[in-house]
Amino acid sequence: MIDRILSLFVWWGLSLGATASAQDMATMFAQYAQLDAELKSRSAPVMSTLRWQRDVTFSKALPVKDGKSTTSLALDLLHPADSISKPRPLVLFVHGGGWSRGNRSMGEDFLPLFAGGGAVAGTLSYRLAGEAPYPAALQDVAAAVAWIRANADPLGVDPNRIAIWGHSAGAHLAIHTAVFDPDRAQGIRCAVGVAGPYDLLLEEDASPFGEMMVRNFLRDPADPLGMAEGAEDAIRARAREASPVNHLDRADPPLLLIQGGKDSLCASAQARDMAAAAMKAGTEVHLAFYPEIGHVPTDPDVFRTISRFMDRHLGTSCSAFFDSIWPIEQVVATATEQETKE
């Protein structure tokens, strides 16, 4: 096993470029950029009716880099113009990036979809794996939810109508927050995971890239190569603890899991097995499978599905707003044109 771990770390350090090519990372980043541009363009007409509240600090003096320095974490919130007149539900996004990259701006172009539908929409920062070891990121997401609930009145937020969602590693963090501990999940009415890993041990059977991201997230900074006695058992124990699939029960909020059939970074089995486990535990769960999309949710119906789920559990009008900026007739027409070209 030690040889296997060492070979994986060598692979990570020397062959990331080859792996990225194999996973077609350039295409994925291009899809992100195209999706962001499309959402920004379609939301532009309503942005003047919305109000930004940026750099809202929710945690201070958190240890990073082996305790040698500290950092603060913040939220960006997008409000309906009249959000302070009555408490609004909150839709909170957690960004992805393999737990080691990215920042809260990655969710910025999603926020108008929900603020336009009557919610306060937010995106948050958390400590990345290179800054602070597990379980720092999970603690940070939970801390953001707790801080928002404690400061709900000045934020114009209803503390008992919160939805949390995320993409990729952010989906893992969002779903874990919703199911791990009833205290952490207070106020969370529903949770959505898009292309997320929910059983971290399952990544051993997926791509080496996925496994290395998991190991980087769970590693012991004092033993980064995992060569100390008992290191393998310790990382597997952390993987079990960090896996939302192991913390389900009927008291959990409703879940929506979205998975693409062409996702090469996160195995389809992640969402399928999570949905099966949730059903067995008595948790309300919905699985939306899109055979033709990859890791990036490029199909607009993904957001239509999410907005309808939010409406059902938060009492918002997000789906009506989304239909107004991206009518289903346009989606059908675009799909037909694409099929004709092919």
Buried b vs exposed e over 234-265: b needs ≥16 C-beta within 10 Å? Answer: bbeebbebbbbbbbbeeebbbbbbbbbeebbb
Which residues pair with residue 321 across a beta bridge? none
Average pLDDT, whole number, for the chain?
A: 87
Give the 3-state DSSP-derived string for 250-305, with helices as H, strands as E and coil as C.
CCCCCEEEEEECCCCCCCHHHHHHHHHHHHHHCCCEEEEEECCCCCCCCCHHHHHH
Report pLDDT digits (tens) over 227-262: 888 888 999 999 999 999 999 999 999 999 999 999
Cα separation, 78 vs 295, in Å, equals 26
Q: Considering only 5-19, 51-65, 272-286, 316-330, which range has the smallest mean pLDDT?
A: 5-19
Here the CATH number for the domain that contains residue 68 is 3.40.50.1820
Which tokens in the block code for residue 103?
Answer: 């920042």
- For 157-181, what is each residue's pLDDT tens digit? 999 999 999 999 999 999 999 999 9
Span 191-205, pLDDT tens digits? 999 999 999 987 655
As for how many domains the chain has, the answer is 1
Q: Are 164 and 174 in contact (CB under 8 A)?
A: yes
pLDDT over 70 percentage in the chain:
86
44/39 Cα distance (integer angstroms): 8
**How many C-beta atoms lie closer than 10 Å to residue 155's C-beta?**
24
Please write the tens of the pLDDT for every residue from 7-23.
Answer: 333 223 323 333 444 45
| pLDDT at res. 132 | 94
Domain with 297 in it: 2-341
Q: Please, what is the angle between helix 208-218 and helix 2-22, to 10°?
A: 120
Residue 288 in tokens? 């939306």
pLDDT tens per residue, range 102-136:
999 999 999 999 999 999 999 999 999 999 999 99
301-319 mean pLDDT: 97
